[in-house]
Amino acid sequence: MDFFNYRQSTLYAEGVPVDQIAAEYGTPCYIYSRATLERHWLAFDQALEGRRHLICYAVKANSNLAVLNLLARLGSGFDIVSQGEMRRVLEAGGRADQIVFSGVGKREDEIVAALKVGIRCFNVEVSGELDRINRLAGELGVIAPVSFRVNPDVDAKTHPYISTGLKENKFGVDIASARDEYLRAARMPHIRVVGVDCHIGSQLTETAPFLDALDKVLELVDQLAGDGIVLEHLDLGGGLGICYRNEQPPEPGEYISAVLSRLGNRNIEIMLEPGRAIVGNAGILVTRVEYLKPTENKNFAIVDAAMNDLIRPALYSAWQDIIPVIAESGGAGERVWDVVGPVCETGDFLGKERRLGLSPGDLLAVRSSGAYGFTMSSNYNSRPRVAEVMVDGDRCHLIRQREPVEMLWAGEQILP
Ligand code: LLP
């Protein structure tokens, strides 16, 4: 559920008409709803009430400081994959000791920075990373908390580009060799083994693959306990899907109760790293129709947002709903349009074959754009990145200004 709804025929973000926001801040712009964001985070947190747990929001989904700050205020932890994400979390008021650091290619400087601020743990994904962390922790005279991200070889049944828990994927330590890695880690002087982690993919719409992965991880947890390595936490990663079109993913509560039922009486802290399920439906991308170009074969609606602003349709053929900000009554004058941007690529589309009644100047909203929208945007075609606005009840806050055009070449130098 989200807080983008029509009143009469105008789309509102919570209590504010979307056309009013577009008039004030221009288009394209991302609009987020604070109430939706908080509702989704709380759905995860409350489902784990009464159990030791930490929700570590996956920063990559949407890393705006205002988003991170609101979640930090609720008590959220954070899953990061770079030093940049770590700095954002700290800048936004997140706690270092609630940060978990995932990612297959952690550089030395990133590990050192994370050790210095005292993060909650490293999710180690490569054997060599463990040796690197041990050495760097030794040099700093600290003990590094470590968890292994294991690859359970489970089919997440999602888009191949966002499936991560199969043997052929680059992620995690093969679960078959994980025990040896734990035994090795337990003998290292500057390592403290604290947990286990797995993340099998994104936009999962069924619980079964999560539970298959959990069963394999629990088997490892029990085996390690037999070896005298008692883990403090089990992190099941992110990946819970949202409804873009007609998917019916489980609600966070449903998914979590299935997970808890598998845990039995094991006294282990549960961690999750949801990104999309928290922020995906908490955002829309608002764009204006520049031109209509009906042709013999296709009708193109050329809008001012493009693949550089929202790449999911172009990159994954992702389907996101496109709705009018001012809904026409009756649907008269509707046609089937390909909604395309101004970028010089055939793959530059936001949606294909959408039935809409359009005139130049109309505003459209691309729904479910809160996750992997702005964070994946780029300056391709020298297009400044767009404004981001957060609505809170009947108030509106600019949380990232539209990039001034000079920012496009900031840091560049011409030869003397
Ligand atoms: N934890 C780890 C280690 C991850 O790699 C990811 C996402 C998450 C948590 C959060 O997953 P979520 O709950 O958001 O599914 N750009 C793609 C999605 C890439 C996901 C990458 N990893 C998209 O737009 O669909």
> Cα–Cα distances in Å, from 216 out to 122, 223, 236, 265, 270?
21, 11, 12, 17, 16
On whether 406 is known to bind a ligand per the annotation, the reply is: no
Chain segment 102-148, per-residue pLDDT in tens: 999 999 999 999 999 999 999 999 999 999 999 999 999 999 999 99
CA-277 nearest atom, ligand 1: 13
- Asked if residue 280 has its Cβ within 6 Å of ligand 1, the reply is no
Angle at 148 between CA 228 and CA 172, to 5 degrees: 140
| Cβ–Cβ < 8 Å for 368, 244 | yes
Is 70 exceeded by the pLDDT of residue 331?
Answer: no
Arithmetic mean of pLDDT, 374-382: 98
Q: Does the ipTM exceed 0.85?
A: yes
Q: Residue 24 above 70 pLDDT? A: yes
- Alpha carbon nearest to ligand 1 atom 24, residue: 372
Largest CA-CA distance found in the chain, in angstroms, rounded: 73
CA separation for the pair 29, 246 (Å, rounded): 25
Q: Measured in angstroms, how far is the CA atom of residue 201 from the centroid of ligand 1?
A: 7
- 291 labeled part of a ligand binding site: no
Residue 182 labelled as part of a binding site: no
In ligand 1, which atom is closest to the CA atom of 312? 24
**Segment holding 371, helix H or strand E:** none
Q: From the candidates 198, 243, 344, 396, give the one annotated as an active-site residue.
A: 344
* pLDDT confidence of residue 133: 98
Looking at the DSSP bridge assignments, the partners of residue 300 are 293, 338
- Peptide bond before residue 17 is cis, with ω within 30 degrees of 0: no
pLDDT tens by residue, 146-198: 999 999 988 877 777 667 777 777 888 999 999 999 999 999 999 999 999 99
Assess contact for 185 and 146: CB atoms under 8 A: yes
Q: pLDDT grade, residue 1 (50/70/90)? A: confident
Choice from 63, 80, 202, 256 to test ligand 1 binding pocket (greatest atom count within 8 A of CB): 202
> For residues 86 and 99, is the Cβ–Cβ distance under 8 A?
yes
The CB of 354 under 6 Å from ligand 1? The reply is: no
Domains and CATH numbers, the chain: 4-32+280-409 (2.40.37.10), 34-278 (3.20.20.10)
Residue 237 near ligand 1, beta carbon < 6 Å: yes
Six-digit token string for 52: 């030791």
pLDDT at 21: 98
Residues 229-269: tens digit of each pLDDT: 999 999 999 999 999 999 999 999 999 999 999 998 899 99
Residue 330: pLDDT over 90: no
344 is catalytic: yes
Q: Does residue 320's CB lie within 6 angstroms of at least one atom of ligand 1? A: no
- CB of 40 closer than 6 A to ligand 1? no
Per the CB < 8 A criterion, the answer to whether 303 and 347 are in contact is no
Backbone phi, psi, residue 326, to 5°: -115, 110
pLDDT at 329 over 70: no
Give mean pLDDT, residues 353-374: 97
Give the whole-angstrom CA distance, residue 293 versus residue 155: 42
Is 345 marked within a binding site?
yes
Q: What three-state secondary structure class fits 288?
A: strand
Secondary structure of 155-182 as H, E, C letters = CCCCCHHHECCCCCCCCCEEHHHHHHHH
Using CA atoms of 132, 97, 150, 179 in order, give the dihedral in degrees to the nearest 10.
70
Ligand 1 atom nearest 372 alpha carbon: 24
Q: Which residue has the CA at smallest separation from atom 23 of ligand 1?
A: 372
pLDDT, mean over the chain: 96
The confidence score (pLDDT) of residue 378 equals 98
Write down the pLDDT at residue 401. 98
The reply to whether ligand 1 has any atom less than 6 angstroms from the CB of 67 is no
- Binding site annotation covers 232? no
The per-residue pLDDT for 306 is 98
Q: Tell me, in angstroms, the distance from the centre of ligand 1 to residue 63's CA.
A: 13
Query: And the tokens for 220?
Result: 């490892």
- Cα(50) to ligand 1 centroid in Å equals 27
